[in-house]
Amino acid sequence: MAYRSHIILVAAILASFVVSSYSPHLNAYYLDVAINVGVNIILAVSLNLINGYTGQFSLGHAGFMSVGAYASAAVTMYLGPRLFGERTSLLFFPALLTGGFVAALAGLAVGVPSLRLKGDYLAIVTLGFGEIIRVVFRNTEALGGALGLQGIPPYANFFWTFGFAAVTVYVVTSLVNSTYGRSFIATHDDEVAASAMGVNTTKFKIIAFVVGAFFAGIAGGLYGHFKQSINPTGFDFIKSIEIVVIVILGGMGNTLGVILSAILLTLLLEKLRDFGDYRMMLYSFLIIVIMLARPQGLFAWPLRRKEPAPKP
């Protein structure tokens, strides 16, 4: 079926719309957890494009997320009133896209000079980028400094979050099942061989990085417009690690696995709240156990990417 992916995308967006129209009847806590799940799906699936499929170890995803969060909040909080005289939810969609594009630009700015580095070195550079961004936001008074931005209008809901999660999954799987995806994986497997086969590895690494950063920015925008406040500390190194852990547990280069692990780990972190101070300790312990038991990822069953069945 040539258009199966389109149908799934439309169905997923419709489903999130239907669920969203019932969400006022939902317990606010459950809704909060659900939005966290959705945001983490967007973050993990987009990071998987960079770390999993293309094999470029990035630790800067929370940095891109914060860029998107601040940029989109700036649009709805400051630009909206200037243009229309009041805050309007009409601006939410353009604001999210703005957040995505600004994050993508940041991705381009970080990616171009640093993607010639490999493995650990790239990880350190992206880690450094994330920290720089955080410090910049903390020291920019116009964006609230260390306190961050408060009173962001609560435009994000179930529909927007899961609608965008569906779009993220669609974009990543579409890219993966095209000339792009084969080039990403070839770059991941063997850069020297890939370029000898005519693959411009630099170009594909940058594409993966920019697309990944774009969706991290979208996730940031959704997060900000749901929580109604953002501050630099929320986007620190720990957040980046959290997303990397989701990707590794889901299985590098396995979108379905990463979605499942985003759901599982977000719920797990919520459940562990019952243990108070021991929460992070238990969380880390569980991750160690899972990693020892299933180093290939929790959901790494042999379905990878489907082969086409060419007609004779």
Partner 1 sequence: MSAPAASDALLRMDRCTIRFGGLTAVSELDLHIGGNELVGLIGPNGAGKTTVFNLITGVYPPTEGGVYFRGETLRNQKPHQITAKGIARTFQNIRLFPSLSVFDNVRVALQLNRRGGFVQALLRGPDFHRAERQVEAEVVEILDIFRLGRFRHTMARNLPYGDQRRLEIVRALATKPRLLLLDEPAAGMNPTEKVDLMRLIQFIKEKFNISVLLVEHDMQVVMGVCQRVSVLDYGVKIAEGGPEQVRRDPKVIEAYLGDKIGAENSK
- What are the residues binding partner 1 (CB under 8 A)? 2-3, 5-6, 171, 174-175, 178-180, 182-183, 185-186, 188-190, 192-201, 207, 253, 304-305, 307-308, 310-312
Q: Please, is 22 exposed, middle or buried when counting C-beta atoms within 10 Å of its C-beta (0-12, 13-18, 19+)?
A: exposed
The answer to whether 60 and 127 have CB atoms below 8 angstroms apart is yes
Please, what is the minimum distance in Å from the beta carbon of residue 54 to partner 1?
A: 12
The answer to whether 151 and 17 have CB atoms below 8 angstroms apart is no
Please, what is the minimum distance in Å from the beta carbon of residue 308 to partner 1?
A: 5
Token pair for residue 140? 């920019």
Closer to partner 1 by CB, 102 or 194: give it: 194
Please, what is the minimum distance in Å from the beta carbon of residue 183 to partner 1?
A: 7
Closer to partner 1 by CB, 47 or 172: give it: 172
Q: What whole-number distance in Å separates Cα of residue 172 and Cα of residue 187?
A: 16
Q: What whole-number distance in Å separates Cα of residue 66 and Cα of residue 68?
A: 5
Closer to partner 1 by CB, 144 or 253: give it: 253
Closer to partner 1 by CB, 276 or 312: give it: 312
Please, what is the minimum distance in Å from the beta carbon of residue 137 to partner 1?
A: 31
Please, what is the minimum distance in Å from the beta carbon of residue 213 to partner 1?
A: 15
Closer to partner 1 by CB, 113 or 302: give it: 302
Closer to partner 1 by CB, 188 or 227: give it: 188
The CB-based long-range contact list for 19-27 (8 Å cut-off, 24+ gap) reads: 19/158, 19/159, 19/162, 20/157, 20/158, 20/159, 20/162, 21/159, 23/157, 23/158
Please count the other Cβ atoms lying within 10 Å of the Cβ belonging to residue 158: 21
Please, what is the minimum distance in Å from the beta carbon of residue 180 to partner 1?
A: 5
Please, what is the minimum distance in Å from the beta carbon of residue 30 to partner 1?
A: 33
Token pair for residue 277? 């101070």
Please count the other Cβ atoms lying within 10 Å of the Cβ belonging to residue 35: 22
Closer to partner 1 by CB, 120 or 307: give it: 307
Nearest by Cα to 291 from 256, 244, 236: 244
